[in-house]
């Protein structure tokens, strides 16, 4: 058993290849807003070593100015947000600090309340998003919301309904939208949702995974693949009726779904 375990580790090391020696301190100093260097080192380890992430189309990440990143959502806990934020910090020539809008229940999770805040993730309210865009920051949103993060394994990579809130903010703040397709998060915590317990706790879901500790605090070491699309500039009145904004939101949703299909075709395996 020990020999088999060592062999598996050796294979994973070979598949991962050499890990870049990222200049975390230098990149942190390059930010206009200083981040938490320790938290970024943890994020780097998860990005480079645990999830072994690859980012495609990173040239579409604007070096400066307000921007709204819009991505598909999955995985029970928002490690997808962490990976996207780490990619924007580590991969471009000029690092971007991305503020991710997370679900209201995430700060109640013991370890998440400490770490996610230090990774720049905040509760997803329109006021928070509007304030950050006004300050010319990069904001990450998941229009599927809790519906996406708690979807069943059988519905993986099928986008749920997009809300229109992100579109109203993009139009109001005149922020370009960069669509992102995330491949890997759907398999990081295959779970069954115990709905009665979720209602009892007032949570959007109560996921149970088929391995200890049976709650998705520790994701599986899947390989993440991120696809950044070309920026989309949407025009119109932010006060338009919901049906008008819904049509614009569907355009973004369709772009992300197409990018997901491309990513799934290119992926060789869930874990490498």
Average pLDDT, the chain: 85
Cβ neighbors of 106 (< 8 A, separation 6 or more) are 77, 78, 112, 113, 116, 121, 123
What topology is assigned to 23-266 in CATH?
Glycerol-3-phosphate (1)-acyltransferase (3.40.1130)
Give 99-128 pLDDT, tens digit per residue: 988 766 555 665 555 566 666 677 778 898
How far apart are the C-alpha atoms of 232 and 177, rounded to whole Å? 5
Q: What pLDDT is stored for residue 3 in this prediction?
A: 52
Query: Is the preceding omega at residue 208 within 30 degrees of 0, hence cis?
Result: no
Radius of gyration of the chain (CA): 18
Q: What pLDDT is stored for residue 1 in this prediction?
A: 46
Share of the chain above pLDDT 70, in %: 83
Domain ranges in the chain are: 23-266
Compute the average pLDDT of residues 258-265. Answer: 97
Share of the chain above pLDDT 90, in %: 54
Compute the average pLDDT of residues 134-159. Answer: 87
b/e burial code for range 14-47 (CB count within 10 A of at least 16 → b):
eeeeeeeebebeebbeeeeeebeeebbeebbebb
Q: Say yes or no to pLDDT of 194 above 80.
A: yes
Q: Say yes or no to pLDDT of 6 above 90.
A: no
């Amino acid at each position: 058993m020990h020999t088999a375990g060592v062999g598996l580790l050796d294979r994973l090391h070979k598949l991962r290849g050499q890990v870049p020696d990222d200049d975390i301190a230098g990149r942190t100093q390059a930010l206009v807003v200083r981040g938490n260097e320790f938290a970024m080192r943890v994020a780097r380890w998860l990005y480079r070593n645990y999830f072994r992430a690859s980012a495609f189309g990173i040239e579409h990440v604007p070096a400066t100015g307000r921007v709204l990143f819009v991505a598909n959502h999955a995985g029970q806990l928002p490690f997808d947000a962490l990976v996207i934020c780490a990619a924007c910090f580590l991969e471009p020539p000029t690092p971007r600090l991305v503020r991710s809008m997370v679900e209201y229940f995430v700060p109640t999770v013991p370890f998440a309340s400490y770490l996610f805040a230090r990774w720049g993730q905040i509760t997803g309210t329109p006021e928070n998003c509007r304030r950050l865009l006004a300050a010319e920051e990069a904001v990450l949103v998941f229009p599927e919301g809790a519906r996406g993060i708690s979807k069943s394994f059988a519905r993986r990579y099928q986008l749920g309904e997009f809300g229109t809130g992100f579109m109203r903010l993009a139009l109001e703040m005149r922020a370009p939208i960069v669509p992102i397709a995330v491949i890997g998060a759907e398999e990081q915590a295959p779970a069954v949702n115990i709905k009665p317990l979720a209602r009892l706790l007032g949570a959007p879901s109560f996921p149970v995974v088929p391995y200890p500790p049976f709650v998705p605090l520790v994701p599986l070491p899947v390989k993440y693949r991120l696809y950044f699309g070309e920026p989309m500039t949407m025009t119109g009145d932010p006060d338009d009726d919901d049906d008008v904004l819904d049509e614009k939101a569907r355009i973004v949703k369709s772009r992300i779904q197409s990018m997901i299909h491309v990513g799934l075709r290119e992926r060789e395996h869930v874990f490498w």
